[in-house]
Amino acid sequence: MVHAVMDSPIGSITLVGADGELSGLYMERQRYAPESYGERDDGAFPDAVEQLTEYFAGTRTEFDLRLAPKGTPFQQQVWAALREVRYGETTTYGELAATIGRPTASRAVGHANGHNPISIVVPCHRVIGTTGSLTGYGGGLPRKRFLLALEAGTPALL
């Protein structure tokens, strides 16, 4: 396991993985981040750094990276569904639960969403409350607000 650190408009981002596969993307003070990331090698994930840089510049709307998130089969199902939520769009926990065929599992979907280890690339920031409110985000609501504004073409300050 190795990690690389990159600067971004939302602060430092730590990329974690092995064998060229990304298993984690963590922001400073992110909830549920592991205590250790392995050896640091800032050259370990050049494609991820390039694509994230393009994303923050507003020139990339989809990621094409090898991902290896660790989680339960249910979490994997939720994270796969998250990857289908298109750039600039949002969904709710209930809609996501229905998408995976578990319409009564919105709370469990919310829990899986909150434990997404590869935020931004697996766009958990695109999940909002039923009323359109911004609900919890492992990286903090100011970052969620920033990411949604970026994707809407109206970047906000962090």
- At 33-57, the pLDDT tens digits run 888 899 999 999 999 999 999 999 9
pLDDT at 5 over 70: yes
Look-up: residue for tokens 């920033």? 146
Active site residue 32: no
The average pLDDT across 115-121 equals: 96
The average pLDDT across 99-113 equals: 95
Catalytic-labelled residue, pool 10, 48, 105, 124: 124
The average pLDDT across 88-110 equals: 95
What is the per-residue DSSP string for 45-91? Answer: -HHHHHHHHHHHHT--SS----B-----HHHHHHHHHHTTS-TT--E
pLDDT at 137 over 80: yes
Lowest mean pLDDT among 1-10, 23-32, 73-82: 23-32
Residue 158's pLDDT is what? 66
CA 90/CA 120 separation, integer angstroms: 13
Three-class secondary structure of residue 13 per DSSP: strand
Question: What does the block give as tokens for 88?
Answer: 């600039």
Q: Is the pTM of this model over 0.95?
A: no
CA 130/CA 133 separation, integer angstroms: 7
